[in-house]
Structure 1
Amino acid sequence: MSAGSRTLEDLRSLLTSCQGADSQQRVKFYDSWAETYEQDHSMMDYRAPHQAVHFLFENFSGHPDEVQVLDVACGSGLVANLMVELGFQHFLGVDGSRGMLDQAAKTGLYKELKLALLGTEPLPAQPGVFDVVMIVGALRDGFVPFSVVRELCLAAAPGGYVCMSRNGLESESGNQYKVSLEAELQLMEEEGLWSHVATKETDRYMIDMYSNCDHVQKDKYLHGTMYLYRKFLL
Structure 2
Amino acid sequence: MVLKYRAPQMTINFLKSNFSGVPEQVQVLDVACGSGLVAKGMFELGFRNFVGVDSSKAMLELAAQTGFYRDLKLALLGPEPLPAPTGAYDVVILVGALDVGFAPVSVVRELCQAAKPGGLVCIGRGNHKGVESDRYKTELETELQLMEDEGLWSRVDAREEDGYMMDVKAETNATPEEACISGNLYLYRKSNAPDG
TM-score, normalised to structure 2, is 0.95
Which one has more relative contact order, counting CA pairs under 8 Å at least 6 apart? Answer: 2
Q: State the match for 2:54 in structure 1.
A: 95
**3-state secondary structure, aligned to 1:146:** coil
Which of 62, 69, 72 matches 1:110? 69
**Residue correspondence of structure 1 range 1-234 to structure 2 within 5 A:** 42-211=1-170, 213=171, 215=172, 217=174, 219=176, 220-234=179-193
Higher-Rg structure is 1
1:100 is matched by which residue type in structure 2? M
**3-state secondary structure, aligned to 1:217:** coil
Which of the two has greater strand per residue? Answer: 2
| Alignment RMSD | 1.0
**3-state secondary structure, aligned to 1:189:** helix
Q: Distance in 1 between matches of 2:173 and 2:183?
A: 18
**3-state secondary structure, aligned to 1:225:** strand
Question: What is the deviation of 1:165?
Answer: 0.6
1:40-60 deviation digits (Å, cap 9, x = unpaired) = xx2311000000001001001
**3-state secondary structure, aligned to 2:17:** helix
Inter-CA distance 77–218: structure 2 relative to 1 (3 Å threshold) = farther
Question: What is the deviation of 1:94?
Answer: 0.1
Could you tell me whether the CA contact under 8 Å between 1:208 and 1:217 is conserved in 2? no
Q: Distance in 1 between matches of 2:125 and 2:174?
A: 21
1:108 is matched by which residue type in structure 2? G
Q: Distance in 2 between matches of 1:158 and 1:117?
A: 25
Structure 2: tracts of 5 or more residues without a match: none
Identity in percent = 56
Which of the two has greater helix per residue? Answer: 1
**3-state secondary structure, aligned to 2:24:** helix
TM-score, normalised to structure 1, is 0.80
Q: Distance in 2 between matches of 1:43 and 1:62?
A: 32
Structure 1: tracts of 5 or more residues without a match: 1-41
| Number of aligned residues | 191
Could you tell me whether the CA contact under 8 Å between 1:208 and 1:216 is conserved in 2? no
2:12 is matched by which residue type in structure 1? V
Question: What is the deviation of 1:209?
Answer: 1.1
